[in-house]
């Protein structure tokens, strides 16, 4: 399988690769003691092991947990020599997909060295059906967050839906399901098995997941939830032919963004040799017991190499897919970018 293409803008960098810099920066969304920064600090030593010896590192956290501030800053510097590796949360990808006016960056100009992926699952108290007497009520944050993928999936299935805003944490989602305040909830993020157990205790069942992503293909089940069908499997079970057009590409972008816990990225200007060194370090994380001790209980799957690159490419897709996504949200659900 070919390595993801480097931008034509990197042609000059490919023809004359300079020695690796003596200093690098690990840049993370804030706060400095926050969740994404914690992953950067945990994985940083392993990533540095892939670089030449004696490379000094500086750690910087910037902005808030949604990652918009740090992604804007990363986009403005875009160091072509690969001196800065940014850890961005999946929320920053969702904000860009939705057209958040604060997002001045373009994930299409990033290359992933490593992705921390978590399952994302739609749950409900009853099986999905095209014969419901009213629209399906889907719990949603305000503004719309990772459940963007669920709204797009329901549209592809031809199932009318409406948002019930203000419900995001596992406890409120479980209580809402128990009280039948809504019909569906989209669960994502770390420790999803615990969240899913709470939803099941409230009478809900897993309807479909966003699947494995990366190199595994759209039909593959998430390896952390092998008993839950992927979206396309669920559609086939309902005997619904999902159109393979820009609407599906828009859903796949939102689904990949929802499944990203964090992505460690470089600019697409980076030389192939520098990218290979960072990715060599990313591969070493799979052999670390200290990393596994954190990742396994939280249900975070570390995706590296070419598959990490494909995971990120999935979130940016084409301009037509992005336009379709935003048009669907406007025409079906009355949602407009902030």
pLDDT tens digits along 272-299: 999 999 999 999 999 999 999 999 999 9
Residue 338 lies in a domain: no
Task: Note whether 328 and 194 are same-domain residues.
Answer: yes
What's the CA gap between 238 and 302, in Å, rounded? 32
Residue 2 lies in a domain: no
What's the CA gap between 173 and 140, in Å, rounded? 9
Task: Note whether 102 and 135 are same-domain residues.
Answer: no
Low-confidence ranges of the chain (pLDDT < 70): 1-19, 78-79, 218
* Domains: count for the chain: 2
pTM of the model: 0.90
The domain that holds 198 is classified in CATH as 3.40.190.10
Task: Note whether 219 and 124 are same-domain residues.
Answer: yes
Task: Note whether 107 and 151 are same-domain residues.
Answer: no
pLDDT at 141 (0 to 100): 84
Task: Note whether 216 and 133 are same-domain residues.
Answer: yes
Task: Note whether 169 and 270 are same-domain residues.
Answer: no
Residue 15 lies in a domain: no
Task: Note whether 236 and 216 are same-domain residues.
Answer: yes
Residue 49 lies in a domain: yes
Beta carbons within 10 angstroms of residue 201's beta carbon: 11
What residues pair up with 88 in beta bridges, in sequence order? 263
What residues pair up with 59 in beta bridges, in sequence order? 26
Task: Note whether 62 and 112 are same-domain residues.
Answer: yes
Task: Note whether 265 and 145 are same-domain residues.
Answer: no
The domain that holds 279 is classified in CATH as 3.40.190.150
Q: Which domain holds residue 95?
A: 24-118+260-317
Residue 71 lies in a domain: yes
Residue 270 lies in a domain: yes
pLDDT at 301 (0 to 100): 95
Task: Note whether 102 and 170 are same-domain residues.
Answer: no
Task: Note whether 171 and 241 are same-domain residues.
Answer: yes
Cα–Cα separations (whole angstroms), residue 153 to 5, 92, 159, 209, 233: 29, 20, 9, 11, 12
Task: Note whether 28 and 90 are same-domain residues.
Answer: yes
pLDDT at 79 (0 to 100): 67
Question: What does the pLDDT look like over 68-104, one tens digit per residue?
Answer: 999 999 988 756 778 999 999 999 999 999 999 999 9
Residue 12 lies in a domain: no
Q: Of 328, 330, 331, 325, give the one whose Cα is nearest residue 94.
A: 325
pLDDT at 78 (0 to 100): 59
Residue 16 lies in a domain: no
């Amino acid at each position: 399988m070919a390595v993801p293409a480097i931008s034509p803008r990197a042609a000059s960098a490919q023809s004359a690769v300079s020695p690796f810099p003596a200093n690098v920066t690990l840049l993370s969304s804030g706060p400095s003691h926050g969740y994404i920064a914690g992953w950067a600090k945990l994985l940083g030593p392993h990533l540095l092991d892939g670089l030449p010896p004696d490379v000094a590192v500086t750690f910087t956290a910037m902005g808030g947990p949604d990652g918009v501030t740090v992604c804007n800053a990363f986009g403005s510097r875009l160091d072509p020599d690969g001196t800065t590796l940014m850890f961005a949360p999946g929320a920053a990808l969702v904000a860009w997909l939705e057209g958040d006016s604060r997002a001045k960056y373009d994930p299409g100009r990033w290359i992933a060295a490593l992705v921390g992926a978590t399952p994302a699952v739609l749950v409900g108290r009853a099986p999905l059906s095209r014969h419901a007497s009213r629209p399906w009520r889907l719990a949603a944050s305000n503004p719309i967050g990772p459940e963007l993928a669920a709204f797009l999936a329901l549209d592809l299935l031809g199932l009318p839906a409406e948002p019930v805003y203000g419900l995001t944490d596992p406890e409120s989602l479980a209580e809402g399901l128990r009280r039948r305040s809504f019909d569906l909830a989209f669960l994502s993020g770390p420790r999803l098995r615990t969240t899913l157990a709470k939803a099941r205790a409230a009478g809900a069942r897993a309807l479909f997941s966003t699947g494995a992503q990366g190199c595994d293909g759209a039909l593959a089940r998430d390896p952390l939830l092998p008993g839950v069908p992927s979206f396309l499997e669920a559609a086939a079970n309902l005997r619904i032919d999902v159109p393979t057009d820009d609407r599906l590409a828009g859903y796949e972008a939102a689904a990949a963004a929802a499944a990203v816990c964090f992505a460690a990225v470089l600019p697409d200007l980076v030389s192939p040799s520098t990218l290979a060194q960072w990715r060599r370090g990313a591969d070493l994380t799979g052999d670390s017991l200290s990393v596994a001790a954190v990742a396994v209980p939280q249900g975070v799957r570390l995706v590296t190499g070419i598959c990490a690159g494909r995971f990120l490419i999935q979130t940016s897709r084409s301009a037509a897919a992005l336009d379709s996504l935003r048009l669907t949200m406007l025409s079906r659900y009355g949602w407009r970018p902030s």
